[in-house]
Structure 1
Amino acid sequence: MELDPALLNLNQTLSGPGPFVLLGVPGLERLHAWLSVPVCLLYLASLAGNTLLLGLVAVDKTLRAPMYQLLGLLAAADLILATSTVPKALAVLWGLSDEISFGGCLAQLFVAHVAFIAESSVLLAMAVDRYVAICQPLRYGALLSQRVVATVAVAAVTRGACVMAPPVILLQRLPYCGHRALPHTYCEHMGVARLACGDTRPNIWYGLATTLLSPALDLGLIGASYALILHAVCRLPSPGARRKTLG
């Protein structure tokens, strides 16, 4: 006796989709082992460099200035972003494991994107830090302190979580039927949404909105901050003062 395909799809939708298959880099399947070499080396370099930077900022009392504390936040966000994606990517490239559960996929997607948005937020805070240091030096101590850096850390993570919670909820509510292969080495929002057999327009529009309102907005504000810095430097009376400020 054969079961109705519609009933099978309904059962899959209610119980949750099965594991997804990560295909790696489409068209370069034969080169996966070679591609894993630079990926692994860059990951190890990122781990070593960011861990060393975090250790120095935590131990060295001369690195208590907000600029160095923000560098520590950036290193932490980069560690989380890399660790949430690269180990699974290496497992795919090495042919060790190409499957990831639906829950694991959503967790990876959420953590990686939150870390990316937090990185963008910290970079914006660093641009503001440099603007205040150069354009408002007498107010630097009052405007930027370790308490402000802690607030930036909380705000960056909160912002990322608030931005990424809706798409994860939308992905959970979509029905999944048919193929479950992702042409990536990690779980990506629209890549997962394309596997659904329901209406994905909310995901498309929300993905576009988050791109415009998160990294794109931060990039514009960072550019504006450095433009103001260059304007202030160019107004200094002597070339020596300009060189000292930029140094």
Structure 2
Amino acid sequence: MNNTKFLPTLIATTTILFATIGKVEAITFAGTSSGSWGIPTGTFGAFLSNEGSETNNRVTWGTSGGGSFTNANYVQYDGLGFSTNLNTLFAVGDLTYRNGMTSRSSHNFRGDFPLEVELSFTNPFNSAENFNYNFNILNTRNTTGDPVLDGDKLRFQANGLTSDTFNFNGVDYTLNLIGFSSDGGNTFVSEFNSPEFSVAESMLYAEITAASPSTDVPEPATIIGLGLVSVYLAGSLKKKRK
């Protein structure tokens, strides 16, 4: 093979591959999140409401007697704006749960109820991805007079689709909902065990990763190898010309 003819092609190929990898790593994904709740079938004393600019993002149940919702229970999802790079945890929403002390006859809200989370991308493309979480509420009777022992549990875990794959500029990406965290993403929790009249908060985190390279995009070691070959051939040709 004529190394003089092969070298420019190899250098060009290596340059393009490095540029492709660089573009993938440098992409910023930005957008907003929103969420809407559902109510378990067959319950009473619960209703949905719109808080802020979102729709059905709060579900309230129970009264403190006399039809007053002053001390009622509620769980609310507030979507956040986000801007992130690959392989980085980022917060997409804020979950707030208030455990109110309600009269026993005011509601029978119990069991599973859904939260649909929508992530709407504005950069580098316009698209929306939907995810579903399932929640379960365990209301306990207030028999001890101790707000901790009489506390209720709001349990949540991934239900159904928790990841989605999309393609942008020929590269496959995976969007994962990681879970809820109350300490900045260091640890993730599966429930709130909340004393009476307390308010608990947690953030929903996600992460975007690049899918495994296809046959069109070599592994990084291959690209480095091509680069070293280019340097070697360039040095050899330079010596021959002297």
Greater strand content: 2
Structure 1 length normalisation: TM-score? 0.28
The structure with the larger Rg is 2
Structure 2 length normalisation: TM-score? 0.28
